[in-house]
Amino acid sequence: MKKELLLASALVSTMGVASVAEAVTATMSGMHATGLKSTDTDAAADGTMSHATSSDFSVSLSETTDGGVGISTSFMLANESGALHTAGLTLTFTDGSKLDVLSAGNAAATHDVSVPGSAGSPGVTIVTANNAQTGLDFFNEATAIGVEWHSAADFMADGLKISASISADDGVVADGSVELESSWGLGATYVTSAGDTAVTIGAGIADSEAKDSGQAADGSNGWHVGVSAVTGDLTVAAGYANGDKIIESPETAVFDAAVSKVGVKYVAGDITLTAGYTNAEADDNTSSLTAASGDKDKQDITELGIAYAVASGITANIGWKDIDATDDGSADTSGGSSCYVGTTVSF
């Protein structure tokens, strides 16, 4: 009940600010990527080629009250590369802090360090029940009924920013599968320098509760930490995450998921070279949501990329990705390699 009252108070606060002008400021952004992708899995005798495209088009709306409080939101008109995203409200206060209200996300995910990988969109789809988690924020769950607070820069120390989030039960019934009930998250980013090198350290922790109509189920939980160092045109980054995850459908529990990532980026004029490596493993179980099966799922991912800035907003990409996978201790032949050659046009 306390969580619901907290969220209700945050919503009411958005209505108590001073009136704004009759029309807000609207800005548009988007991109279209088109290219050729080839994929060769370990199970197939011959590789496949396809025309790979993705597009998105979004609108951002913002205005500032007479008291200096910024109010903003956004929505997508199209997103072919994933689900459409409709944001809640973001309040930006005069001290530089912010509050996201509704569909706010999880604060742990806000502070994961970006690790370089490939370019464009090469990819191999793992079609088995391989549940090795490959992202540093795999446990970042939140319902739409949530808020996230972001501190201003230099919070309590130079270079430090923190975030905190909470979400409550949205009333969805767990009929035959698990559903997220509530969550919380904390995250922090610290920026400093060591000589000519700019160093960024990011970390986060999160936990959630799940409800289930069948088996008893705990929620997702975990932590991550990462570091990025930039010296001139060279960026080196690494990250590690560990935790558990509940998957809604098919109903699956993932235990002791561990993700290690390392990547490097070098900018030479209009050309950007990237390379990355990910090691991921987890112990999943569909028959019991409270006990590990003892057999590991694994993915070793190697990525290379070249991006060339042809003109303002236009980038030519060449990317390569290879996945060596293991499902429940046995070789997973749905792994393989993929190449991509294409162009991204953005505005």
**Please, which pLDDT band fits residue 7 given cuts at 50, 70 and 90?**
very low
Residue 294 has a pLDDT of: 81
CB count within 10 Å of CB 269 equals 8
In the predicted model, what is the mean pLDDT of the chain? 90
Report the CATH fold assignment for 2-346.
Porin (2.40.160)
Both tokens of residue 255?
């235990």
Number of continuous H segments (helices) and E segments (strands) in the chain: 2, 16
**Please, which pLDDT band fits residue 14 given cuts at 50, 70 and 90?**
very low
pLDDT digits (tens, 9 = 90+) for 310-322: 999 999 999 999 9
Residue 307's nearest CA partner among 298, 318, 296, 297 is: 318
What is the arithmetic mean of pLDDT over 164-175? 90
Within 292-347, strands assigned E span 296-311, 314-327, 330-346
pLDDT digits (tens, 9 = 90+) for 119-160: 998 988 888 889 999 999 999 999 999 999 999 999 999 999
Residue 10 has a pLDDT of: 47
Whether the predicted pLDDT of 71 surpasses 80: yes
Tell me 21's DSSP state. Answer: -
Range in 114-118, 213-217, 285-289, 342-346 the model is least confident about: 213-217
Residue 191 has a pLDDT of: 97
Domains of the chain, residue spans: 2-346
Of the two residues 4 and 168, the one the predictor is more confident about is 168
Place of tokens 């999943």: 284
**Please, which pLDDT band fits residue 219 given cuts at 50, 70 and 90?**
confident
Of the two residues 169 and 7, the one the predictor is more confident about is 169
Whether the predicted pLDDT of 99 surpasses 50: yes
**Assign residue 6 a region: left if phi > 0, alpha if psi is -120 to 50, beta otherwise?**
alpha
Whether the predicted pLDDT of 19 surpasses 50: no
Residue 155 has a pLDDT of: 95
What is the arithmetic mean of pLDDT over 33-53? 89
Residue 125 has a pLDDT of: 87
**Please, which pLDDT band fits residue 4 given cuts at 50, 70 and 90?**
very low
What is the arithmetic mean of pLDDT over 255-278? 97
Residue 172 has a pLDDT of: 86
Dist. CA 24–CA 169, nearest whole Å: 32
Type and span of the H or E element at 25: strand 25-41
Type and span of the H or E element at 198: strand 197-212
Residue 22 has a pLDDT of: 62
Is 103 in a helix, a strand, or coil? coil
Whether the predicted pLDDT of 86 surpasses 80: no
Residue 145's nearest CA partner among 329, 7, 241 is: 7
Residue 235 has a pLDDT of: 98
What is the arithmetic mean of pLDDT over 97-102? 96
Range in 76-85, 248-257, 295-304 the model is least confident about: 76-85
Residue 281 has a pLDDT of: 96
Residue 79 has a pLDDT of: 80
